[in-house]
Amino acid sequence: MRVDRRLLGLIAVIAVIAIFIDGFAYVYRLATSQPLTGPIRGVPTLSIPFLGFSQQIYVHKGLDLQGGTHLELQITQVRSGTTIQTARDIAVAIIERRVNSSGYAESVVRPEGSDRIIVELPGVNLEQAKQILGKTSYLTIWKWEPGTPDAATLALLNPTDAQKYAGYKPVPTGIDGSMITNASRSTDPNTNLPDVTISFDNTGSNLFCNFTRDRVTHPQGDPQNKLAIFIDKDLVEDANVISEICGGSAIITGGFTAASAQALAIQLSSGALPGTISIASATEVGATLGASTVKLSLLAGAFGLAIVILFMLLYYRLPGVVASVALILYAAIALAIFKLFGVTLTLAGLAGFILSIGMAVDANVLIFERVKEELRAGRTLGAAMEAGVHRAWPAIRDSNISTLITCFVLYFFGAPLIKGFAITLAIGVAVSMFSAVVTTQQFLQIVAGLRPARRLAFYGVRAPKAA
């Protein structure tokens, strides 16, 4: 195979793109005097909509590398009438809103499986995380009708509150916290006591309007004239309805202090979680610990690369130089892909990447060993290189495909941590195949075409005794 100008062009284009991606974010950060790590301020995300792709270009580090809290939340006791998936999605949206309003950059809230939610909060400890996630408050509005409460109602509400009026039972009105668009602390103009003003969305507003219109028809003092607001299990408001309320807002009074009114307003405005949410697992990593792990990994990576390059130069001489250049290009391309697709690098991910470097080196070693053999057999340089690549290919192909199969299984069936490992390894292996078979091979052909490079000593091979 001769030097192929089109392939060389392709390598050049990919190299330029990789260097652009690796470098451009840093240039931008420097130009706008931003720190060199973490998310970038003021850069529009690069998005390719038809690939469902939208990313900022920088290395996304997992919590084990940057410190923070990782929580896996489990939803149980979903309110009747909601499927667990719907409940999960509502909860994700609500938690996302709470997290974002707390202003934590680069936090992640995503569904996991059918009933779990993963929350990742960089730079936050567990106590702070619990505060951000907040208490779950579920507001429901009930009316009183003649009868006695059944077991289901007693399980849902505090029994003492549910049996407040003998001969009456609480009946749901269908109005709940999910219909609240806003809640804020306010002050009663008559008593000067703190209270909470809530605003309803259209559905809630209509329901509330009809409900109050119906309640007004009952005389004052009759429980059927009352409006009962329960928060979680407890009755917090049991007020007389004096007139119909159709403006889309209502006021909860009920012996609040300024602080408790504020707390309730926050709980209500951040939405009602559609079920009970408990922490299934939590991990907290100190910031310095994460940073030292990164430092260590970089050190190991640099050390590893240095050993590999040194070894290749000493053992394979001139092809070693070629392989080293190809290897550095390989690392740049793999890193650019991580950045481009927002792959989150974790400790396991780094392990996958380091393993893929090993495999990239291995592909080169396989080719060079073959080239040496061909040279010893007395072939010309060009022919030996061509045959070397050709004969090493089945081994490179089969071993890398087996690795890709493993990655595939891990990615689709593995736990999140294992997924991170699979994706970096798969990207690494795919790029390493390109690196070994296209880049190294083309470079070798160029070298073979140079007259001064034709001495066999450059390849660590003695001239054959008799050709």
Partner 1 sequence: MNIVGRRNWYFLLSLAIILPGMISMAFFGFRLGIDFAGGDQYNLAFTRPVQASAVQKEMDTFNVEAIVQQAGSNGVLVTTKPLSSVQETTIRADLTKTFPVDPSKSSYAQVGPTIAKELVVGAGGLIAIASILIVMYLSFRFNYKFAVCAVLALLHDVFVLTGIYSILGKVFNLPLGEINTLFVTAVLTVIGFSVHDTIVIFDRIRENLRQASRLTFEQNVNLSIIQSLARSLNTSMTVVFVLVALFLISPQNIKGFTLALLIGIVSGTYSSIFNASPLLVVWRRLDPR
Closer residue to partner 1 (CB): 118 or 444: 118
Please tell me the distance from the alpha carbon of residue 424 to that of residue 344, in angstroms, as a whole number.
9
Closer residue to partner 1 (CB): 149 or 352: 352
Give the residue among 364, 371, 360 at the shortest CA–CA distance from 331.
360
**Helix/strand/coil (H/E/C) assignment for every residue in 114-183:** CCEEEEEEECCCHHHHHHHHCCCCCEEEEEEEECCCCHHHHHHCCHHHHCCCCCEEEEEEEEEHHHEEEE
Give the residue among 126, 116, 120 at the shortest CA–CA distance from 91.
116
Cβ 140 to partner 1 shortest distance, Å: 25
Q: Which amino acid is at 150?
A: D
| By CB under 8 A, residue 384 contacts partner 1 | no
What is the contact mask toward partner 1 in residues 167 to 196, using x (rule: CB under 8 A)? ------------------------------
Residue 262 buriedness (CB in 10 A; 0-12 / 13-18 / 19+): middle
Q: How many CB atoms lie within 10 A of CB 342?
A: 16
| By CB under 8 A, residue 24 contacts partner 1 | no
Please tell me the distance from the alpha carbon of residue 372 to that of residue 462, in angstroms, as a whole number.
10
Q: Residue 343 in contact with residue 60, Cβ under 8 Å?
A: yes
Q: Residue 364 in contact with residue 326, Cβ under 8 Å?
A: yes
Closer residue to partner 1 (CB): 21 or 119: 119
> Buried (b) or exposed (e) across 54-75, using 16+ Cβ within 10 A?
eebbbbbbbbbbbbbbbbbbbb
| By CB under 8 A, residue 414 contacts partner 1 | yes
| By CB under 8 A, residue 303 contacts partner 1 | yes
Here the tokens at position 86 are: 């719907």
**Total residues interacting with partner 1, rule: CB under 8 A:** 65
Please tell me the distance from the alpha carbon of residue 255 to that of residue 234, in angstroms, as a whole number.
14
Residue 351 buriedness (CB in 10 A; 0-12 / 13-18 / 19+): middle
Q: In what order do the strands lie in the sheet with 194-200?
A: 180-187, 194-200, 249-252
Cβ 401 to partner 1 shortest distance, Å: 6
Cβ 361 to partner 1 shortest distance, Å: 6
Task: Please pick, from the candidates 134, 172, 174, 304, the single residue that binds partner 1 as defined by CB under 8 A.
Answer: 304
Here the tokens at position 449 are: 């075409």
Task: Please pick, from the candidates 285, 322, 389, 444, the single residue that binds partner 1 as defined by CB under 8 A.
Answer: 285
Task: Please pick, from the candidates 251, 287, 325, 337, the single residue that binds partner 1 as defined by CB under 8 A.
Answer: 287
Task: Please pick, from the candidates 27, 307, 450, 457, the single residue that binds partner 1 as defined by CB under 8 A.
Answer: 307
Task: Please pick, from the candidates 10, 46, 321, 418, the single residue that binds partner 1 as defined by CB under 8 A.
Answer: 418
Q: Which amino acid is at 158?
A: N
Cβ 375 to partner 1 shortest distance, Å: 14
Task: Please pick, from the candidates 52, 103, 221, 394, the single residue that binds partner 1 as defined by CB under 8 A.
Answer: 394
Here the tokens at position 249 are: 């807002």
| By CB under 8 A, residue 425 contacts partner 1 | yes
Give the residue among 319, 445, 332 at the shortest CA–CA distance from 14.
332
Q: Which amino acid is at 421?
A: F
| By CB under 8 A, residue 202 contacts partner 1 | no
Cβ 321 to partner 1 shortest distance, Å: 17
Q: Residue 182 in contact with residue 162, Cβ under 8 Å?
A: no
| By CB under 8 A, residue 387 contacts partner 1 | no
Residues 314-373 interacting with partner 1 (rule: CB under 8 A): 315, 347-348, 351-352, 354-355, 358-359, 361-362, 365-366, 369, 373
What is the contact mask toward partner 1 in residues 38 to 67, using x (rule: CB under 8 A)? -----------------------------x
Closer residue to partner 1 (CB): 33 or 288: 288
Q: Residue 68 in contact with residue 123, Cβ under 8 Å?
A: yes
**CA 401 to chain centroid:** 27
What is the contact mask toward partner 1 in residues 97 to 136, using x (rule: CB under 8 A)? ----------------------------xxx--x------
Closer residue to partner 1 (CB): 74 or 184: 74
Binding site for partner 1 (CB under 8 A): 67, 72, 74, 125-127, 130, 279-289, 292-293, 296, 299-300, 303-304, 307-308, 311, 315, 347-348, 351-352, 354-355, 358-359, 361-362, 365-366, 369, 373, 391, 394-395, 398-403, 405-410, 413-415, 417-418, 421, 425
